[in-house]
Amino acid sequence: MRGLTVMGKRFDVRTALVLTGCLAALAVVPSAANATPGSGVSGTVLAQGTTDESLRITAKGRTDVVVRTLTIAPGGTTGWHHHPGQVLAVVRSGTLTRTLDDCSLEVTGPGGAILEPAGARHRHLGRNLGTEPVVLYVTYFLPAGSPLSVDEEAPDCAAGQPAARSGTVGEDG
């Protein structure tokens, strides 16, 4: 019987050909050592954050992706609002205090990442209760043509908290 013997094991011709083909294929696969180096490319990390939440971005149909910085002055507020699409934000500096729809608070400092779900069921208020500006790097994943945010009334549990925008966060926070 014709075949191949490797380390004392005998393989038939068909198996020997399959093994030889696999080894040949591996020989032509480029390794990291053979990778081509890039040139003329540079980059700057604007902000880096970490979140304990599972991250899953979903979008249906045409999607506008908007990336911007957002600065909230000390004492500033975003006003109650929601986003038509998902939002991913990283706090670059300062401390952002968010009041959620159920009036629970989430405080996020520098290096923290925030994933905000889409829709009116996820209204919230962002505030800067500190003495230095809050700087956020924000990426919006929006249905094409949608605004960045939609103003909302404050929930009943938020009596006494600001309901309108203060104008300190720029347009469409």
Q: How do the domains of the chain map onto residue ranges?
A: 3-29, 63-158
- How many Å is the Cα radius of gyration of the chain? 27
Each residue of 64-86: b (16+ CB within 10 Å) or e? eeeeeebbbeeebbbbbbbbbbb
* Site of tokens 């905000």: 116
pLDDT by residue for the chain (173 residues), tens only, comes to 455 555 555 656 665 566 566 556 666 665 656 678 888 888 888 888 888 888 788 878 999 999 999 999 999 999 999 999 999 999 999 999 999 999 999 999 999 999 999 999 999 999 999 999 999 999 999 999 999 999 999 999 988 655 444 433 444 45
3-state secondary structure of 35: coil
CATH topology of domain 63-158: Jelly Rolls (2.60.120)
Q: What are 64's two structure tokens?
A: 């506008």
Q: Helix, strand or coil for residue 24? A: helix
